[in-house]
Amino acid sequence: MLIKRKREWEIPERLATPEALFLNRRALIGGAAGLAAGSLLGGRTALAAPGDASPYPAVRNPAYTLDRPVTPERFSGDYNNFYEFGTSKTVLPAASALKTQPWTLKIDGLVEKPFEIGVDDLIRTVGLEERLYRHRCVEAWSMAVPWTGFPLAKLVALAKPSSGAKYIRFETFMDKAMAPGQRAFYYPWPYTEGLTLAEAGNDLAFVVTGVYGKPLPNQFGAPIRIAVPWKYGFKSAKSLVKVSFTADRPKTFWEGLQASEYGFWANVNPAVPHPRWSQATERVLGTDQRVPTLIYNGYGEQVAGLYKGLEGERLFV
Ligand code: MTE
């Protein structure tokens, strides 16, 4: 007889968020219904209104579901890539030096009028929602997390890019005193990443300010990062201080380091190996499982159309 034993990671999604917060959220869900349908700049909700003590936890947008259990925070929060704080996965202690209050995001480049906005003001302006996303690192491990944030398209709309803007460039803070990893001179600091404006406008592209129903812990890239779930994890730059709109394709941190291994597009594809390892499967954080990797990390239906006519490019490296 087959006996199904529940594994440690097979938890209901509600346990991904601390229970008190979850119950609180359930109570609020009715009042905040309609968040997902909020207009582009009017998506403010009762949970994130001025005067509210905290916009967390935000209402979960049910349109974003998972094919696997949420990774418990004790695994995802203690296995991080954040080279500013070292090259090991245990950056949590070093990242506690990151000072995230106050924090200002600069919007510049080809926009109607460059501006700066505090992260708290930005959150109050655009509102927050929670989404369950898969995350696939180029190193062939993966996790599934409840991010809190807002569509990148809302930030693009606030920025009002001019017609010449074709790309969006993300830049991480630079502070060698706070981030010892930035003293390593052979890395092209600061960490930068980029997307096309079309990619940035895809509904999956998400600006993240929280996870597991609370503000981002430092090691996840506090206080503001992006999540681009159909691409390898290095595209999801952390602790952003600047978002620039450009006519030319931005050079990224990893391209600057090793362009033959880490390109601009970096879409997940199990059939295209990294030059030094296979991308066919992935190790699921917090489990003893390896599962097949999916093209575009399982988000092909939403994003494959972005790459029509670009077949000549190195879309998967
Ligand atoms: N952003 C910055 N600024 N520095 C980094 O080292 N690492 C990237 C990405 N964003 C990185 C970064 C990589 S390789 C991955 S897989 C993800 O962050 C890891 O995100 P996580 O620690 O939240 O899992």
- Do the Cβ atoms of 241 and 172 come closer than 8 Å? yes
Q: How far is the CA of 116 from the centre of ligand 1 (A)?
A: 24
For ligand 1, atom 11: residue with the closest CA: 82
- The residue whose CA is least distant from atom 21 of ligand 1 is 80
Distance CA 166, CA 279 (A): 30
Residues of the chain with pLDDT under 70: 1-52
Length of the chain: 317
Question: Ligand 1 centre and the CA of 23: distance in Å?
Answer: 31
Are 252 and 266 in contact by the 8 Å Cβ rule? The answer is: no
Mutate to test the pocket of ligand 1, among 71, 79, 82, 187 (most ligand atoms within 8 A of CB): 82
Which residues does ligand 1 sit against, CB inside 6 Å? Answer: 80-84, 137, 172, 191, 220-221, 233-234, 236-239
Q: Which pLDDT value is given to residue 53?
A: 74
- Give residue 4's pLDDT: 40
All structural domains of the chain with their residue ranges: 13-29+56-307
What pLDDT was estimated at residue 24?
37
**CATH level 2 (architecture), domain 13-29+56-307:** Alpha-Beta Complex (3.90)
The two most distant CA atoms of the chain are separated, in Å, by 68
- Give me the residues paired with residue 142 across strands: 136, 284
**CA dihedral sign, ordered 149, 206, 302, 293:** negative
Cα gap 131→149, rounded to integer Å? 8
Beta-strand (E) ranges in 57-201?
A: 104-109, 115-118, 129-136, 141-151, 167-172, 192-196
Q: How far is the CA of 39 from the centre of ligand 1 (A)?
A: 30
Rg (CA), the chain: 19
User: Closest Cα to atom 9, ligand 1: which residue?
Assistant: 234
CA of 32 to the centre of ligand 1 (A): 32
Give the global pTM: 0.86
User: Which of 81, 171, 212 gets mutated to test ligand 1 (max ligand atoms within 8 A of its CB)?
Assistant: 81
Q: For ligand 1, atom 5, which residue shows the shortest CA distance?
A: 82
**Mutation test residue for ligand 1: of 189, 193, 238, the one with most atoms within 8 Å of CB:** 238
